[in-house]
């Protein structure tokens, strides 16, 4: 069978690296804006003008302010948080995603009187609402990863860990992440938080943004991150030979690779064909999982990421099926979920 015969949307897929606020479609942001405008609650520009459809060339300099000075001012109350979360879930489901680990940085919304714990609880309740909706025919199951932002103080990072502890028991939160502007640092202050996570919450997965930019790709930073014993790492761009070997030596580490994000944001040199997916996807010691990162910003749904690797790296249908299936090994959602997913996955 030829590569072209694969229906990438119908292919059951897992998404392990998606930021909630970065996954909101522009249409959905527009709906939030309209409601705020009608209520006289915003002077912000219409999202369809601020972020025109088809504009995906955000780089590391323009990308992070988009959240702090725009999207966070739109998604600033319970209604908007619930509405955007439901929309993100429905977009992933429509793209054939059957398991999603959505990550988000807990954010208090002072004007709406919302604490960080209520922020997390609101998202979890939107997930439950989506999954129990009788009109929802999708197979999508969603878990949450809570992110520490590189800009956080140590007490703020401990707060994220406390929220993981609070919500992990109910099965909603399955992991902790380090994200944010790679130009910010140093990150070693967070070591004790990840050490405590490993020691006191052994079932909580650890995933770290890793070597995303040259500034965050120094050997010193990467050895520090690896010393926190992550289960998965994201982006994995600026690695020297020593770090590459160290990543392989760990055995079974998940690599969350985000092609469109890296190409559109100019994080790698060259186009899709020069992406480091080509270097890693056949490496037996690691598990590559294709991911979207911020589909609302970069515009490429997961189905398209699979189509891209097939096109640029010549993966056959068999390769595609085994790529998705291998990813199941590194989810944080537990053995029962892995069994469900293996039952859903296409065999080559
Ligand atoms: P949120 O955590 O749900 O609010 O999603 C948006 C946040 O995710 C941004 O403010 C960034 O801190 C983080 N983020 C999104 N994409 C990236 C990335 O590619 N690298 C690092 N951080 C990111
Ligand atoms: Zn990311």
Pocket probe for ligand 1: among 75, 88, 105, the residue whose CB has the most ligand atoms within 8 Å is 105
Strand order in the sheet with 205-210: 13-19, 97-104, 141-149, 173-179, 205-210, 232-235, 253-257, 286-290
Any idea of the CA torsion for 326, 332, 335, 339, to the nearest 10 degrees? -50
Condensed to tens digits (0 to 9), the pLDDT of residues 131-152 reads 999 999 999 999 999 999 999 9
Alpha carbon of 180 to ligand 1 centroid (Å):
5
Rounded to an integer, the average pLDDT of 65-93 is 98
Q: Is residue 68 situated within a structural domain?
A: yes
Domain count, the chain: 1
Q: Is residue 249 situated within a structural domain?
A: no
pLDDT band for 116, please (50, 70, 90 cuts). Answer: very high
Supply the range of the domain harboring residue 85: 3-208+300-344
Q: Is residue 31 situated within a structural domain?
A: yes
CATH of the domain at 61: 3.20.20.140
- For ligand 1, atom 4, the nearest C-alpha belongs to 21
pLDDT greater than 70 at residue 3: no
Residue 1: its pLDDT value, please? Answer: 43
Residue 4: its pLDDT value, please? Answer: 52
| Cα four-point dihedral sign 11, 17, 20, 22 | negative
What is d(CA 2, CA 11) in angstroms, rounded to the nearest whole number? Answer: 15
Q: What is the DSSP string of 46-71?
A: PHHHHS-TT-----HHHHHHHIIIII
Condensed to tens digits (0 to 9), the pLDDT of residues 203-254 reads 999 999 999 999 999 999 999 999 999 999 999 999 999 999 999 999 999 9
The closest of 258, 238, 213, 265 to 63, measured between CA atoms, is 265
Residue 170, helix vs strand vs coil: coil
Q: Is residue 180 situated within a structural domain?
A: yes
Residues having CB closer than 6 A to ligand 1 are 19-22, 67, 104-105, 147, 149, 179-180, 209, 212, 261, 293-294
How many Cβ atoms from other residues are within 10 Å of residue 186's Cβ?
A: 12
Cβ < 5 A residues, ion ligand 2: 293
Residues catalogued as catalytic: 212
Which ligand is nearest the CA of 267, by number?
1
Is residue 14 within 8 Å of residue 102, measured between CB atoms?
A: no
Q: Is residue 37 situated within a structural domain?
A: yes
Rounded to an integer, the average pLDDT of 328-346 is 98
Q: Is residue 279 situated within a structural domain?
A: no
- Reported pTM: 0.98
Q: Is residue 255 situated within a structural domain?
A: no
The closest of 15, 23, 247, 252 to 143, measured between CA atoms, is 15
Residues 6+ away with beta carbon under 8 Å from 86: 126, 129, 130
Q: Is residue 270 situated within a structural domain?
A: no
Residue 169: its pLDDT value, please? Answer: 80
């Amino acid at each position: 069978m030829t590569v072209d015969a694969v229906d990438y949307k119908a292919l059951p897929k897992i998404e392990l690296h998606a930021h909630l606020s970065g996954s909101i479609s522009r249409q959905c942001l527009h709906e939030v804006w309209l409601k705020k405008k009608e209520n006289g609650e915003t002077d912000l520009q219409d999202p369809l003008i601020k972020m025109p459809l088809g504009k995906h060339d955000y780089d590391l300099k323009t990308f992070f302010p988009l959240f702090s000075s725009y999207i966070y001012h739109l998604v600033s109350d319970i209604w908007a948080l619930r509405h955007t979360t439901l929309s993100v879930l429905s977009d992933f489901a429509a793209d054939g995603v059957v398991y999603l680990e959505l990550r988000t940085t807990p954010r208090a919304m002072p004007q709406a009187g919302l604490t960080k714990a209520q922020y997390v609880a609101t998202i979890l309740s939107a997930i439950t609402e989506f999954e129990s909706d009788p009109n929802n025919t999708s197979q999508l199951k969603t878990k949450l990863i809570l992110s520490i932002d590189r800009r956080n103080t140590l007490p703020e990072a401990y707060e994220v860990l406390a929220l993981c502890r609070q919500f992990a028991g109910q099965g909603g939160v399955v992991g902790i992440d380090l994200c944010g502007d790679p130009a910010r640092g140093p990150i070693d202050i967070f070591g004790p938080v990840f050490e405590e996570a490993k020691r006191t919450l052994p079932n909580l997965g650890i995933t770290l943004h890793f070597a995303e930019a040259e500034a965050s790709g120094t050997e010193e930073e990467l050895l520090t991150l690896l010393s926190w014993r992550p289960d998965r790492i994201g982006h994995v761009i600026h690695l020297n030979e020593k770090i590459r070997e160290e990543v392989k030596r760990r055995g079974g580490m998940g690599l969350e690779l985000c092609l469109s994000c890296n190409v559109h944001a100019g994080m790698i040199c060259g186009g899709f064909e020069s992406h480091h997916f080509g270097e890693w996807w056949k490496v037996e010691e690691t598990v590559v999982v294709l991911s979207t990162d911020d589909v609302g910003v970069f515009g490429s749904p997961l189905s398209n990421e699979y189509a891209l690797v097939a096109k640029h790296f010549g993966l056959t249908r068999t390769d595609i099926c085994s790529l998705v299936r291998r990813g199941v090994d590194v989810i944080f959602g537990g053995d029962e979920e892995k069994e469900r997913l293996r039952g859903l996955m296409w065999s080559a």
